[in-house]
Chains A and B, each alone.
Chain A
C-alpha cells in the first residue's frame, strides 16, 4: 500500500501569511494526487486534483504542485475562512490512502 505523509501536522499562521503544506508518497504516484480542505463537522471539500489543477469554484490563492513522490499545497495569502484541516489523497492504485492531515490554526 502507498503511504502518504504530510508536514507539518500542525501549523499556526496569521491572516495574510503564505502557507505551504507538503505531502510525500512512499512510491511514485505520478500526478495522481488530490488535496482536500475539511472544516469541523463538515465533509471534505476538493481543492486540487491531478496535483496542480484547481477545482472549479476554489479561490485562486490555492495552488498545488509536484509529481512523483513530493507534492505541495500553497495558500498564497491565508484568509479567515482557510483555517481548517488539509488532507492529501492519492488515486494511483487501490487501496487509496489519505495523508494524516495538517491542521491550520490561527496564530
Chain B
C-alpha cells in the first residue's frame, strides 16, 4: 500500500534552516510528481511546492519562493523540502502528497498524503 512518511520537523529559531524529508513506499516513486502542503495551527491548507516526476520542473507558492527548495532522490524514494530564512509565519504542519494523473501542469489529484511533520519557528 502507498505510504508517505515525513520527518525532520522541530523547533527552530527565526532565520535558521530546516530540511524535511518524505519517504515514499508502495508505488513506483519516479512516476509521480510530489507536492508539499502546509497547515498553520487552526488554519486552512496552503500549497507550498511541487517537483515533477523526473525532477525537471519545480514550482513554489508565493510565500516561500526564494526561501524554500524542493528536491528528490529517486534512489531513496525521498522528496525533500529545504527551508531557509524561516519566519514565525512558517510555523505549520507540513504534509507531502503524491500527485496522481494529470500532465503536471493541469489536472490530476493529490491522492495520498503523509501524516505530517510539525515545524515551529520561535525564539
Q: Enumerate chain A interface residues (CB-CB to B < 8 A).
A: 1, 30-32, 34, 36, 38, 43-46, 49-50, 55, 87, 89, 91-101
Bound CA span A101–B62, Å: 20
7 A-B pairs with C-beta separation under 8 A: A36-B45, A43-B114, A43-B115, A55-B111, A89-B47, A94-B59, A95-B59
Bound CA span A92–B106, Å: 5
Q: A49-B101, A96-B35 are in contact. List 13 more A-B contacts (CB 8 A).
A: A30-B106, A34-B109, A38-B45, A46-B110, A46-B111, A49-B109, A55-B109, A55-B111, A87-B45, A91-B107, A94-B105, A95-B61, A98-B44
Q: Is there contact, CB below 8 Å, between B106 and A49?
A: no
Q: Is there contact, CB below 8 Å, between A98 and B109?
A: no
Q: Is there contact, CB below 8 Å, between B44 and A91?
A: no
Question: Does B68 reach chain A (CB closer than 8 Å)?
Answer: no
Count A-B pairs with CB separation below 8 Å: 64
Q: Is there contact, CB below 8 Å, between B107 and A50?
A: yes
Please provide the chain B residues from 92 to 116 with a CB less than 8 Å away from any CB of chain A in the complex.
95, 101-102, 105-111, 113-116
Question: Does B46 reach chain A (CB closer than 8 Å)?
Answer: yes
| CB closest chain-B residue, reference A44 | B113
Q: Is there contact, CB below 8 Å, between A95 and B60?
A: yes
Please provide the chain B residues from 13 to 43 with a CB less than 8 Å away from any CB of chain A in the complex.
35, 37
A44 to chain B: which residues have CB within 8 Å?
Answer: 37, 45, 95, 110, 113
Q: Is there contact, CB below 8 Å, between B45 and A98?
A: yes
Bound CA span A1–B61, Å: 10
Question: Does B121 reach chain A (CB closer than 8 Å)?
Answer: no
B101 to chain A: which residues have CB within 8 Å?
Answer: 49
Question: Does B50 reach chain A (CB closer than 8 Å)?
Answer: yes
Q: A32-B106, A91-B108, A93-B106 are in contact. Are A101 and B95 (CB under 8 A)?
A: no
CB distance from A84 to the nearest CB of B (A): 13
B116 to chain A: which residues have CB within 8 Å?
Answer: 43
Q: A32-B106, A34-B110, A50-B107 are in contact. Are A87 and B44 (CB under 8 A)?
A: yes
Q: Is there contact, CB below 8 Å, between B44 and A32?
A: no
